[in-house]
């Protein structure tokens, strides 16, 4: 029989219509969690919900633009209304504008990168933390990038948004740990998804990380015993792409 350590728990995964978020949602569902999947592409979300339900799990699609405070508040409310609680919040939605130096980046693209990769994480924490504080437990898992640690020419705004997400995460971790709430940051290297072709240029896709590699790490974090937590994980492919 499959192990279901997250039975009875409820997770929200943003950016779950494809890529890493989809893999994370499927993995959390496999572990027994009900999963609320959020993104803008309704068809993508419904496909993930269908896949989870076909395997006997519980899931809900909530079409959400994570840059909108109203939409994110509705996402948290929908999770509570449908499943009665929230245990895990995976802030995964993200975009990248790659290929040109920062001085050539249009202001709208810079703003969109910051709003999606950083501002949306604030909005989701703002919407969900009061509930976690009330229950004095929960786990917030933010998906950043090795680009937040290393130079990424042609992706300066992306790198800056992920470095800022590091600062946000470690600070919020201290704000919330007294309530028994854990905050973890996951920093993958290049993953074979739609986001990465521009990011990695001529790299060998066969050697890149796969969405399942990231889902595996999120599962490890979410199933860790509750008296400790991992602040940050850096994930690298074994063979250099």
Ligand X SMILES: NC(=O)c1ccc[n+]([C@@H]2O[C@H](COP(=O)([O-])OP(=O)(O)OC[C@H]3O[C@@H](n4cnc5c(N)ncnc54)[C@H](OP(=O)(O)O)[C@@H]3O)[C@@H](O)[C@H]2O)c1
Active site residues: 158
Segment near ligand X (CB under 6 A), from 81-89, 90-98, 103-111, 169-177? 90-98
- Examine residue 194 and tell whether it contacts ligand X (CB under 6 A): yes
Answer for which of 173, 191, 218, 219 binds ligand X (CB under 6 A) is 191
For ligand X, the binding residues in 93-132 under the rule CB under 6 A are 93-95, 116
Stretch that binds ligand X, among 25-33, 50-58, 168-176, 189-197 (CB under 6 A): 189-197
- Region from 2-10, 47-55, 77-85, 187-195 binding ligand X, contact rule CB under 6 A: 187-195
Residue-by-residue DSSP string for the chain: ----TTTT-EEEEES-SSHHHHHHHHHHHHTT-EEEEEES-HHHHHHHHHHHHHTT--EEEEE--TT-HHHHHHHHHHHHHHHS---EEEE-------SS-GGGS-HHHHHHHHIIIIIHHHHHHHHHHHHHHHHT-EEEEEE--GGGTS--TT-HHHHHHHHHHHHHHHHHHHHHGGGTEEEEEEEE--BSSTTHHHHHTT--GGGSB-HHHHHHHHHHHHTS-TT---SEEEE--SS--
5 or 186: whose CB is closer to ligand X? 186
Buried b (16+ CB within 10 A) or exposed e, 76-109: bebbeeebeebbbbbbbbbebbbeeeeeebeeee
Q: Of 33 and 113, which CB lies nearer to ligand X in the complex structure? A: 113
> Under the criterion CB under 6 A, does residue 149 sit at the interface with ligand X?
no
Q: How many residues of this chain interact with ligand X, rule: CB under 6 A?
A: 30
For residue 49, the minimal CB distance to ligand X (Å) is: 13
d(CA 60, CA 45): 9
Q: Smallest distance from the beta carbon of 61 to ligand X, in angstroms? A: 11
Q: Which of 6, 36, 49, 66 binds ligand X (CB under 6 A)?
A: 66
**Closer residue to ligand X, CB minimum distance, 114 or 137:** 114
User: Which 6-65 residues touch ligand X, going by CB under 6 A?
Assistant: 14-15, 17-21, 39-41, 44, 64-65
Instruction: Tell me if 236 contacts ligand X by CB under 6 A.
Output: no
Which residues of the chain form contacts with ligand X (CB under 6 A)? 14-15, 17-21, 39-41, 44, 64-67, 92-95, 116, 143, 145, 188, 190-191, 193-196, 199
């Amino acid at each position: 029989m499959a192990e279901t350590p997250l039975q009875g728990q409820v997770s929200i995964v943003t950016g779950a219509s494809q890529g890493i978020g989809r893999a994370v949602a499927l993995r959390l569902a496999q572990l027994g969690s009900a999963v609320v999947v959020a993104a803008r592409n309704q068809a993508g979300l419904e496909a993930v919900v269908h896949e989870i339900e076909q395997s006997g799990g519980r899931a809900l699609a909530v079409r959400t633009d994570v840059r909108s405070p109203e939409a994110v508040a509705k996402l948290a409310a929908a999770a509570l209304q449908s499943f009665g609680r929230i245990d895990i919040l995976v802030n995964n939605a993200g975009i990248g504008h790659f290929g040109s130096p920062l001085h050539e980046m249009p202001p709208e693209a810079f703003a969109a990168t910051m709003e999606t990769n950083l501002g949306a994480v604030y909005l989701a924490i703002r919407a969900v933390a009061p509930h976690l504080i009330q229950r004095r437990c929960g786990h917030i898992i933010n998906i950043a990038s090795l680009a937040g640690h290393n130079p990424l020419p042609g992706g300066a705004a992306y790198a800056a948004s992920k470095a800022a997400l590091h600062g946000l995460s470690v600070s919020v971790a201290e704000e919330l740990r007294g309530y028994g709430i854990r905050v973890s940051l996951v920093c993958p290297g290049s993953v074979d998804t739609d986001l990465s072709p521009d990011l990695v240029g001529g790299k060998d896709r066969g050697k890149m990380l796969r969405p399942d590699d990231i889902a595996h790490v999120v599962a490890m974090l979410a199933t860790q015993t509750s008296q400790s937590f991992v602040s940050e994980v850096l994930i690298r492919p074994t063979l250099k792409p």
